Structure 1
Amino acid sequence: MFLTPAEKVRDYENRGWWKGESVDAMTRRAVASGGDADALVDPFNRDSLDGRDPERLSWSELDERVDRLAAALLADGLTKDDIVLAQLPNTVDAVLLFLACARTGAILSPVAMPYRRHELEYIVDQVRPRFIVTVASFAGFDHAALARTLAEREGRMEVLIFGDGERDLRAKAAKTDPERTRTHVEANPVAGGEVLTICWTSGTESRPKGVPRDHNHWVLNAEVVADGTGAKAGDVLLNPFPLVNIGSIGGLVMPWLMLGTKLVLHHPFDLGVFLRQIEQERVSYTIAPPAVLTALLKQPQILEAVDISSLHTVSSGSAPLSPWLIEGWAKKGIEITNVFGSNEGAGLFSSAASVPDYASRARYFPRFGAEGQSWEARSHEVSSSRLVDPETEEEIATPGRAGELRLGGASIFACYWQSPELTEAAFDDQGHYRTGDLFEIAEEDERFYRFIGRSKEIIVRGGINISPAEIDDLLTGFPMAVEAATVGIPDDRLGERIAVAVVPVEGAEPKLEDVIAFLAERDVAIYKRPERLVLMDKLPRNPMNKIMRNELRAMVLGKLAE
């Protein structure tokens, strides 16, 4: 399936920005060079996650497992361009499914484990998947039952389960002739310009948006991330995030394939397990949220109990970093890379190589792709960036003036899934993606952008984007409220938490527990449920009757402080 215009594909491939090859071609190179070396390692506590013993696969074993899994899918009727919806924890099965889709020309649409019927029904309606692949159960929830309910509703969608007795997809794959995959691959070559994934992102809209990304996007992503963050040949990578977005797939899985090294998986995030994996597997590169890095520096006794001397770099983002944090880790011999990015392909990196000064690295990002700039970075070669006044569309070239960051080039997605209106709104008249994030050219050094804040209304809780509009829409049916609206409030550990402002109906005294129960009845993911509640006489609205969320946030914080 091709969604990126053919002329753009030709242009970027002619420039050398895209290689025009599939992710499977990258995988096969890694297999050829890696052989019997370790490639993929399960969480050592996997048996507590889904009842399976942890696995450790060499590159050769991984290659055979991908062939067999692909063959099992083909035997069940998979064809090129079919969409596979996956809800899987971060184990070897999730990675193998990603690679099997890349090999067969299928399209993987991964979703987060906390998603429930509310989120999944919408996504199923959008992509009409051929298969939904999940586990029997996880964290006490019956994922297999939910998948079968969705399949009954959809009709043509089939359910495949990892860990469902005799119907176990893993067991079926082990018995399937891998020659079926080889025959299919020969007859169905995959081009770099074809879609590989549809990931889901939240913004100001009330529903998540599907973000298709081609093989070309992902192959380039590996180059940009490895070059921009400090990951290097020979690194052992630890991936603490599930394979559902660019942070995990682009931030670790694709660099792992490019470097042909070892990838260690982790899920759900558990600090003790995370540190022990670094020690046991001699991890040298990983990613972690700022709150975790801060907590570890403030509790040195935790680090004293483990040996993390193999670690040289940690990438972090989703919330502002502090110079204290970066300097504190540097004193331990570990560099922190400051990362700004999105599923749409936005990406800026402040690493030890590009921004050695600790204070600057915490506050600034190199102006990769900006006119008149010169950086020795892959991201700079393949992208363009500029700041624009979001009200007047005037381009900003002077320091100290805030503007929306606009990005173009080979890393940026082509369109939202079956959403032409959203796609049109996402790009400006120069074809640059409107990030919705405010930056300014640094007055101290014009080579850098300084992050100001988000102009979009998304809540970022623990690195996960949450649309307040989606929660607002759900709460319109809350019987104890005349109206309700959601905002993000600052939190030292998670970056932001969800607060809801409720105007109660006459005589009602709604509690936070009432709101949570209302959303739980509608199978809304747990992480989207509010953690604070304030009662108000009315909500602030503009002349167009739209919630003025910045003003509401200030009012909520004021009431919480009383």
Structure 2
Amino acid sequence: MQLTPQDKVDDYTARGWWGDLTLDDWLQRNRREVPDRIALVDPANRTDLDGRPPRRLTWAQLGEEVDRVGAALLDCGLSKDDILTYQLPNIADTVILALAASRIGLIISPVAMPYRRHELTHVADTVRPRAIVTLATFAGFDHAAMALDVARDRDCRVLVTGGNAVEGTIDLDAHIAIADPARAAAYHDAQPMRPAEVFTIFWTSGTEARPKGVPRDQNQWIVNGQMVAEAADIGDAEVLLNPFPLINIGSFGLVTPWLMKQGTLVLHHPFDLQLFLRQIVEERVNYTIAAPAILTALLKAPGLLDSMDLSSLRAIGSGSAPLSPFMIEGFAERYGIEVCNIYGSNEGASLFSDARSMPDHSERARYFPRMGVEGVDWPDSVSNAMIQTRLVDLETETDITEAGKPGELRFQGAATFGGYWNNRETTANAFDAQGFYRTGDLFEIAGDGPVPRFYRFVGRCKEIIVRGGVNISPAEIDDLLAGHPAIREAAVVGLPDERMGERMCAAVVPVDGQQLDLATITDWLEQRGLARFKLPEQLVLLDALPRNAMNKVPRRELRELILDRPA
């Protein structure tokens, strides 16, 4: 399924930005060229996750398994351009499933394990998947039952992996056991996925009430792999540790350079600091990613890292919140590990401040390269060649070229998506008149010289709450709280938190005479199928919410009101 206009494909191909490769081409090359090299390593604690022993697969074994799973999906009735949603932990089977989908031309639209009926129903209604792949149960929750409930009355089947497939579901493992791998290869040869076709639909949140589907095609993922490999200086056959679920560009962004560089991908789930460090040491990891708060906490834990052999670890990617010079300097000076400052989104708006482009540690914490701007030269950068950025005054829509004046950062180019899935109105608002994607984030130009070379992050135009690196739409929670019988009106805001970046606070005006507490509200939201990570962690009772002239709740004013209240 191709969504990108052909004239754009032709233009970017002529420029050399896009080509004729797909992720499957890289996989097939790797199984031919380095068949005996270890390619994929399960979490060391996999037995605790789903009762199965952890696996280590060579590229030859991985290629065989991808073909076998691809054939099993065909046997289950899926075909090219069908959408496949999966809700799976970060295990080898998830990577294999994603690569099998690429092999036979499916579009994947994964969701997080904590998602419940509320979120999964929205995904199903938006992308209309032909199948949902999940475990029967995980961490005490019945995922198969939830998937069956969502799939009911929709043209969607539920495929269960990991055993215990219940009535009404399809036992995917049974189909994999008898599948003929040659069928997937033959199917691919007959109708291969083309580079310009959509491969993923990931989910993002903004100021709108519900998550939005972000389609990305194979070309965009190839470019992403090149950019990440450059920023992290990933070399051939290096070992990459992925501690996050394969559901967004941050985590899937490790899959592409892994394939590109014929390396080893080590998986981790759920995040456990001691196990994470143990994997770095035992697997001789060269590059990984981690939240800023985790990295800062590691440096502040007396002697914790000093007792470990971290000599293999060259670099760590981090983002989703501003980084501190203390943290970047600490890892470089104490352990010789460079931290790469990453700004990015599922839409493909990405900047990388790394050791090559920003050798000064203090500058790397505060600044990003001002990429794709005329007169600003980053001659050895893949990103600079394939993206364009501009800084725009939100009131006048004019370009900002002087330092120190905040404006909205906007992107276009080879890595940027073309529009939200099945959402024309939101797509129209997401791009400006010149075709640049509106990030909703405020930056300012920084640096010396007649043409300053850096951007500095200032804040967010949009109102998303970023809790532990995960975006949460406040409007989505507002809408649910509006249905509570004891609440007159409510709005949620993010409050600063040293460990998580932000925590959610619900500001509530109760119906006269009603008594409310935090537990009552969170229990009520859970009963409506809201994921636990979206639940408010603080409650403030007010007589009224602040309103502006348009009768909207100004969240910045509300946040200041809450922060100014006596402790």
TM-score, normalized by length of structure 1?
0.98
Runs of 4+ aligned residues of structure 1 deviating over 6 Å after TM superposition are: none
Partners of 1:532 and 1:308 in 2: CA distance: 39
1:540 is aligned to 546
1:39-54 maps to which residues of 2 (within 5 A)?
39-54=39-54
Aligned with 2:529: secondary structure? Answer: coil
1:491 pairs with 487, 493, 497, which one? 497
2:28 is aligned to 28
Partners of 1:228 and 1:378 within 8 A in 2: no
TM-score, normalized by length of structure 2?
0.97
Q: Does 1:3 align with 2:9?
A: no
Q: CA deviation at 1:56?
A: 0.7
1:218 is aligned to 221
Partners of 1:224 and 1:134 in 2: CA distance: 31
Q: CA deviation at 1:229?
A: 2.7
Q: CA deviation at 1:53?
A: 1.0
Counterpart code for 2:461: S
Q: CA deviation at 1:37?
A: 0.9
Q: Could you give the per-residue CA deviations for residues 16-69 of structure 1, whole angstroms, max 9, x where no partner exists?
A: 101132211121122222211100000010111111111110000000000000
2:205 is aligned to 202
Q: CA deviation at 1:171?
A: 4.1
Number of residue pairs matched? 559
Counterpart code for 2:519: E
Partners of 2:58 and 2:332 in 1: CA distance: 33
1:274 pairs with 273, 276, 297, which one? 276
Call closer, same or farther: CA 1:8–1:279 in 2, change over 3 Å.
Answer: same
Call closer, same or farther: CA 1:487–1:390 in 2, change over 3 Å.
Answer: same
2:382 is aligned to 378
Aligned with 1:436: secondary structure? Answer: strand
Q: CA deviation at 1:419?
A: 0.5
1:505 is aligned to 511
Partners of 2:273 and 2:294 in 1: CA distance: 8
1:8-19 maps to which residues of 2 (within 5 A)?
8-19=8-19
Partners of 1:229 and 1:350 within 8 A in 2: no
Partners of 1:196 and 1:215 within 8 A in 2: yes
Partners of 1:467 and 1:289 in 2: CA distance: 20
Counterpart code for 1:288: A
Aligned with 1:411: secondary structure? Answer: coil
Q: CA deviation at 1:169?
A: 2.0
Q: Does 1:457 align with 2:460?
A: no
Partners of 2:4 and 2:274 in 1: CA distance: 43
2:291 is aligned to 289
Partners of 1:390 and 1:482 in 2: CA distance: 34
1:15-164 maps to which residues of 2 (within 5 A)?
15-154=15-154, 156-164=155-163
Partners of 1:33 and 1:260 within 8 A in 2: no
Partners of 1:51 and 1:397 in 2: CA distance: 57
1:428 is aligned to 432
1:329 is aligned to 331
Partners of 2:455 and 2:329 in 1: CA distance: 20
Aligned with 1:302: secondary structure? Answer: coil
Aligned with 1:19: secondary structure? Answer: coil
Aligned with 2:152: secondary structure? Answer: helix
Aligned with 2:403: secondary structure? Answer: coil
Partners of 2:481 and 2:490 within 8 A in 1: yes
Partners of 2:185 and 2:412 in 1: CA distance: 37
Partners of 2:372 and 2:388 within 8 A in 1: yes
Q: CA deviation at 1:249?
A: 0.8
Partners of 1:283 and 1:311 within 8 A in 2: yes
Q: CA deviation at 1:137?
A: 1.3
After TM superposition, the structure 1 stretch with the greater mean CA deviation from structure 2, 66-75 or 299-308, is 299-308
Q: CA deviation at 1:543?
A: 1.1
1:348-427 maps to which residues of 2 (within 5 A)?
348-375=351-378, 376-427=380-431
Q: Which runs of 5+ in 1 are unaligned?
A: none
Partners of 2:110 and 2:202 within 8 A in 1: yes
User: Cα RMSD (Å) of the superposition?
Assistant: 1.1
Counterpart code for 2:477: I
Q: CA deviation at 1:444?
A: 4.2
2:555 is aligned to 549
Q: CA deviation at 1:168?
A: 4.2
Q: CA deviation at 1:558?
A: 1.9
Partners of 2:500 and 2:257 in 1: CA distance: 26
Partners of 1:198 and 1:5 in 2: CA distance: 18
Q: Could you give the per-residue CA deviations for residues 90-134 of structure 1, whole angstroms, max 9, x where no partner exists?
A: 001110111011110110001110000000111101111111001
Partners of 1:83 and 1:128 within 8 A in 2: yes
Partners of 2:303 and 2:30 in 1: CA distance: 39
Q: Which runs of 5+ in 2 are unaligned?
A: none
Q: CA deviation at 1:301?
A: 2.7
Q: CA deviation at 1:193?
A: 0.4
Q: Could you give the per-residue CA deviations for residues 482-529 of structure 1, whole angstroms, max 9, x where no partner exists?
A: 100000111111111111100111112311111101101101000000
Partners of 1:31 and 1:260 within 8 A in 2: no
Percent identity for Structure 1 against Structure 2: 57
